[in-house]
Amino acid sequence: DGVVTQSPLSLPVTLGQPASISCRSSRSLVYSDGNTYLHWFQQRPGQSPRRLIYKVSNRDSGVPDRFSGSGSGTDFTLKISRVEAEDVGVYYCMQGTHWPRAFGQGTRLEIK
């Protein structure tokens, strides 16, 4: 199994300050094709999840460039360079390399 563990689970941040979320996998997420299928999602209150980042570091269309993803192997990070009010919500990583697919527990970002 490819269990993924996020930290922290709660993240109070001052507006305009940076934020960072870690996602660690129990196994390497490098697939046999050489790609790493680690994605990041944002779920705002009352909304469906929305993908922000795919394959570690690729921003989806319309995602502000203050969001960035990095990492390799088993350790990954989502960074927000300057938190804005609209960033409030829960962030999830998901591994798409191993069966069964798995999401992290979620990190709740709130404004301090």
* CA dist list (Å): 98 to 20, 24, 37, 104, 107: 25, 14, 9, 14, 22
Q: Do the beta carbons of residue 38 and residue 23 sit within 8 Å?
A: yes
Q: Do the beta carbons of residue 18 and residue 79 sit within 8 Å?
A: yes
Whose Cβ is closer to other proteins: residue 27's or residue 103's? 103
Among 24, 27, 51, 66, binds other proteins (CB under 8 A): 51
Q: Give the range of 20-28, 39-47, 63-71, 80-88 binding other proteins by CB under 8 A.
A: 39-47
Binding status of residue 62 toward other proteins by CB under 8 A: no
Q: Do the beta carbons of residue 20 and residue 9 sit within 8 Å?
A: no
Binding status of residue 69 toward other proteins by CB under 8 A: no
Whose Cβ is closer to other proteins: residue 55's or residue 66's? 55
Q: Do the beta carbons of residue 6 and residue 92 sit within 8 Å?
A: yes
Q: How many residues bind other proteins (CB under 8 A)?
A: 23
Binding site for other proteins (CB under 8 A): 37, 39, 41, 43, 48-51, 54-55, 60, 90, 92, 94, 96, 99-106
